[in-house]
Amino acid sequence: MSNSLKPVLEHIEKEFDGAVSRLQTFLQIPSISTDPAFKSEVRRCAQHITDDLASIGLDAILHDTIGHPMVVATDDSAGPDAPRVLYYGHYDVQPVEPIDEWTVPPFDGAVIDGSRGKRFVARGAADDKGQLMTFVEAIRSWKKVHGSLPVRVVILLEGEEESGSESLVPFLTEHKEALQADTCIVCDTGMWDEDTPAITSRLRGLVYIEATLHGPSHDLHSGSYGGAVVNPANALAKILGQLHDDDGRILIDGFYDDVTQVSAEQVKQWNSLGDADALTLESSGAKATFGETGFSTLERLWSRPTCDVNGLFAGYTGEGAKTVIGAKATAKISCRLVAHQKPEQIEQALFAFFNERTPEGCHWDLKSFGTAPAIAVPTESPWLSAASDALTSVFPNPAVLIGTGGSIPVVGEFQEILGVDTVMVGFSLDDDLIHAPNEKFEVSCYRRGILAQAAILEAYANISS
């Protein structure tokens, strides 16, 4: 460890209570980007983090967009010859439903005891406020201790990651020059386990649509009409039931055309990481694994596409019984994609799947909620090696290379628009209940995450840009 890094790490440990408190304040802002009712809270959250970055000494600007604000903060104190590192995180969060299942209010910023010591329990704790604060806090301490940073830094914080990122491509295109960097760190992924840090090299892509089947012009009494007119709820269920065959294979036309199998070596390496089935069952609370016949759990998660119903509603959804035939039935459906699948093509195939099955006298309302390609990042770069070494220096176990089943569309946009490759480093755990009630982030992951980000800053200073 260099003479520069050591006092930074000491400062992080000494001032850690302040870092915890700052994350709590950040978590108290309900920045739910999918729900128009929270628009002003999303903006308040953007202003809050802009002010915080400015207080560290960065040049921080809140940019309004057609959707939610983008926050950009830069620091060029390392001088013109130092490498420039782009950091990405998102300050927006998922909705909180079902609200009844939270043990603490989702926007209290609570820190409570858990099985691994203290944990933050709040919407956004791990996804992604707690994660982006790891590099913010590392930068804060570097600036505090040395008055400058070892590398040039540009931070981009998005407010639409959970709601389709409609402003992202226009914003990257417009601010291409200001965002130029030699490498990028996206902090929105997980570790293998609490002692084993990870760099994620494979991401699945995403297509997300909503399909509403309209039948009668209004809700009907099921006695007066049952059996004589189409019931959109029955019809939609029957159609959704045709998405998969009995082996879990997806029946959308052309769905697998561009899917390639990963190598036997790759599968072997993944399967050597540990007992993924046990981890999946434990963290999900499921009683059995499930999925496409012929693939292991990690293959299914990291290398096979999916088609999941994410939301379903029709007719009467309150308590008790109502003998109604609803006029319409809606499903929210998403496909996780793997490398080489073309998102727009899959979206069109999904729309066609429904259109080809329209019951007589019915019609569809089909909406797109955005698409993202799958990503496979280069694993031989010096940035990835340096980040891996820095992670290893802070954690008990060496860093490992993993995939993830989720999507981070921005990684593809950075490659395409800015021409910069990303190293995905993150500190969440499989049981962090991301997108679910009681989302949490371990305080120990937060602490080690900040220390690791400080070490990465120094490691990157030694790579020639």
Residue 252 makes CB contacts below 8 A (sequence gap 6+) with 243, 307, 335, 346, 349, 350, 353
Q: Is 212 in the site for its own copies (CB under 8 A)?
A: no
In this structure, the number of other CB atoms found within 10 A of the CB of residue 25 comes to: 11
Q: Which of 11, 63, 118, 244 binds its own copies (CB under 8 A)?
A: 244
Q: Is 40 in the site for its own copies (CB under 8 A)?
A: no
Give me the residues paired with residue 192 across strands.
Answer: none
Q: Is residue 94 near its own copies by the rule CB under 8 A?
A: yes
Which listed range, 97-105, 175-183, 414-422, 451-459, lies at the site for its own copies (CB under 8 A)? Answer: 97-105
Least Å from the CB of residue 277 to its own copies: 9
Tell me which of 206, 377, 399, 452 binds its own copies, using CB under 8 A.
Answer: 206
Identify the CA nearest to 346 among candidates 379, 319, 372.
372
371 neighbors 341 (Cβ within 8 angstroms): no
Query: What's the angle, vertex CA 176, arms to CA 173 and CA 179, rounded to 5?
Result: 135
Q: How far is the CB of 113 from its own copies (least distance, A)?
A: 19
- Of the two residues 9 and 374, which places its CB atom closer to its own copies in the complex? 374
Ramachandran assignment for 164, one of left (phi > 0), alpha (psi -120 to 50 degrees), beta (any other): left
* Shortest distance (Å) from residue 212 CB to its own copies: 12
Give the x-and-dash track for 336-375 against its own copies (CB under 8 A): x----------------------xxxx------xx-----
Smallest distance, its own copies to C-beta of residue 132, A: 18
Of the residues 262, 325, 420, 455, which one makes contact with its own copies according to CB under 8 A: 325
Among 103, 171, 201, CA closest to 399: 201
287 lines the binding site for its own copies (CB under 8 A): yes
Interacting span for its own copies (CB under 8 A) from 48-56, 106-114, 241-249, 412-420:
241-249
Residue 313 lies near its own copies (rule: CB under 8 A): yes
Looking at residue 38, the DSSP 8-state letter turns out to be: G
Q: How many CB atoms lie within 10 A of CB 256?
A: 13
- Applying CB under 8 A, the span of 129-137, 228-236, 260-268, 380-388 interacting with its own copies comes to 228-236
Under rule CB under 8 A, which residues in 425-444 are in contact with its own copies?
A: 430, 433-438
CB closer to its own copies out of 264 and 321: 321
Per CB under 8 A, contacts with its own copies among 4-23 are none
Interacting residues with its own copies between 249 and 278 (CB under 8 A): none
Among residues 54, 273, 324, 463, which is the contact residue for its own copies, using CB under 8 A? 324
- Which of 15, 24, 144, 225 is close enough to bind its own copies by CB under 8 A? 225
The string of DSSP codes covering 357-393 is: TPPTT-EEEEEEEEEE--EE--SS-HHHHHHHHHHHH
Q: What are phi and psi of 171, to 5 degrees?
A: -70, -45
Q: What residues contact 407, with CB distance under 8 A and at least 6 apart?
A: 203, 204, 205, 206, 336, 337, 372, 374
Q: Contacts for 412-418 with beta carbons within 8 Å, 24 or more apart?
A: 412/205, 412/372, 412/373, 412/375, 413/168, 413/169, 413/172, 414/86, 414/88, 414/172, 414/184, 414/186, 415/375, 417/169, 417/172, 417/173, 417/176, 418/86, 418/172, 418/176, 418/179, 418/180, 418/181, 418/184
Find the binding residues for its own copies in span 169-198 (CB under 8 A): 190
**Nearest residue (CB) to its own copies, 182 versus 299:** 299
Q: Residue 375 Cβ, how far from its own copies at the closest point, in Å? A: 12
Select the residue interacting with its own copies from 212, 341, 404, 453 (CB under 8 A). 404
Examine residue 385 and tell whether it contacts its own copies (CB under 8 A). Answer: no
Q: Contact between 103 and its own copies (CB under 8 A)?
A: no
SS3 state at 317:
coil
Q: Which of 139, 191, 199, 240 binds its own copies (CB under 8 A)?
A: 240
